[in-house]
Structure 1
């Protein structure tokens, strides 16, 4: 008997096949073994994120067509710091870049970080690693009152969720939740790309460098320009 798959099932199957091929290459060339359950979970997560990207693209197109108000960056209330982060991920090479911009209640830059990383197998792992590095950075700086913002919706929603997940991905999320639990005045919020432009700009630089770079109370020209645009936009929105 021949069973015809529905369109969504066919899309998921294609993602599973891709991960099976990646699993085979990882075992042959890197001596890394992934269990069938891990492959299935990774495929399901990537499929969900793929649909999310398509939805975001449709939403962005609709907003442009209807001239709806776009979400913009706003400085945090004193004495909080706002930490915007973003991730660039190249599936073919397994390479990612992290962009982080930390600002105070006046909109002034406190720190900017860009960092590359190799051998990353999926978008989910790239985004969860980025959030983990961002949290580490805030701990290093001694920041106890922080609002994290990013457009990694799947990871952010998972960290904010109270549901238990016993999968490998669930363990990564639990690690992030445990760090958050130690800082009761930390919060993490999903924002659209329009409210995360500075971090996105930093990420474009991160994917091109070979090691982590940090700027204290200073930043690359491209990031500074984005920050100034955010501040101007915020003033115009308030007027």
Structure 2
């Protein structure tokens, strides 16, 4: 398992559906990891449809196909990546970050140390994973 390098949440105008939000979040996560210079990344998503679309080698012709295409383009620059489905109760930190961004209409990045209101969840999740 890895360790926490940074925490980020982002608020976006015009994302009206849960699938659109999941795919937009995935794109932002990939771009953020590339900005940090990370090369071995396991992304987790709690929307099975989004994870399946990203992992598919078939062209996505849905309303969000362009976002999936953008994700695939960004992933080409990463030598080792994986998108996996994790139930929401298995990634409460991501859920709390998304709620924070939505409630406060804010985008925020924390390097090395997450915000106080998120530390307990991250600690519990890392403990459950054996980190």
The interval holding the TM-score normalised by the smaller chain is 0.7 to 0.9
Is contact 1:115-1:209 (8 Å) kept? no
Gaps of at least 5 residues in structure 1 are 1-75, 77-104
In the superposition, relative to structure 1, how do residues 166 and 208 fare at CA in structure 2: closer, same or farther (>3 Å)?
closer
Q: For 2:12 and 2:106, how far apart are their aligned partners in 1?
A: 8
| Structure 1 pair 144–225 and aligned structure 2 pair: CA distance change class (3 A) | same
Counterpart residue number, 1:159: 54
TM-score by length of 1: 0.50
- Partners of 2:23 and 2:55 in 1: how far apart? 13
1:141 to 9, 25, 36: 36
**Aligned to 2:104, what secondary structure does the other structure show?**
coil
- Whichever of the two has the greater Rg, that structure is 1
CA spacing shift, 1:174–1:222, aligned 2, 3 Å: same
Q: Distance in 2 between matches of 1:114 and 1:193?
A: 16
Question: Where does structure 2 lack aligned partners over 5 or more consecutive residues?
Answer: none
* Residue 226 of structure 1 pairs with residue 104 of structure 2: no
1:233 shift after superposition: 2.8
Residue number among 198, 202, 205 corresponding to 2:100 in the alignment: 205
Does the 8 Å CA contact 2:31/2:74 hold for their aligned counterparts?
no
* Structure 1 runs, 4 residues or longer, greater than 6 Å off: none
TM (norm. structure 2) is 0.87
